[in-house]
Structure 1
């Protein structure tokens, strides 16, 4: 089985940006789950409007399972912002998938700060700069405040994603190479 490095964290944490650099450094394939979702299912917001957040989450879990099943080369996978915080009963396979990702030695949680208030401020600013999101400061702050404790409770490596992208990617690369050497 080919190794997969998972990048998890809230929207605006840098998973896609750092993940692309990290994949190049490792000479691995880069997969952004949100981009795959857009290609396969269309706009996430439109799908949520039609099927609710639970319908989106179930499709996202299935998409991840399908992608994971077809891994044919080493891969860096940036997961969707809420992926690790879905309710455990959202889909039958989800608890096992979530546990597998959390316990994997190559899973990295990215946050711009490890304290709630600075993390919230940075995430809100980043998300509001994305014109395609149609986000409000209040909704983004509520989302990160809700997810932050659940993300911090995960038993995986944490990386601060505020700073030079190359330096952060290099740090995660060392972490991944060390995990591969121990395997």
Structure 2
């Protein structure tokens, strides 16, 4: 039903890829059914020279190791109690990644409601990086997986034409990197995370 993108899709420069991910579909074929969300917000992390990146200064740890791998690999990490999911980008050994910040639910709505909590309005299910992984059943187990392969993959969607860019969220202590306009989102989409 959904068709994973080709490996070539991930060959673009990081900031370009962060924009072209908008409108594509994040798909997870779970044992309980398939859930899919249209990507509406991303954030690029530019590796060695970006103070907000986990790999700033080429920091290579157990956590960041996959960022040094091939573009299109899955980088998951834990923040508080949430799992966050990222697309590794850039050439091998250039540790860059793109955080998927928000998706708009398109498939498996009932399953998402169950995973996220039926009491919540749909606009709150996937409007943030920790929310969307919960709603889509994405766990740390996907660390090092590849985004062209089932059961977790990026599928072809429709390009977004009204793209807004601005500073990233939640990186207050990263000095000059606070101001880099590396966050991209679809204009007026109600599922984009709330910028506090």
TM-score, with structure 1 as normaliser: 0.24
Report the structure, 1 or 2, having the larger strand content: 2
**Higher relative contact order by CA 8 Å / sep ≥ 6: 1 or 2?**
1
Report the structure, 1 or 2, having the larger helix content: 1
TM-score, with structure 2 as normaliser: 0.23
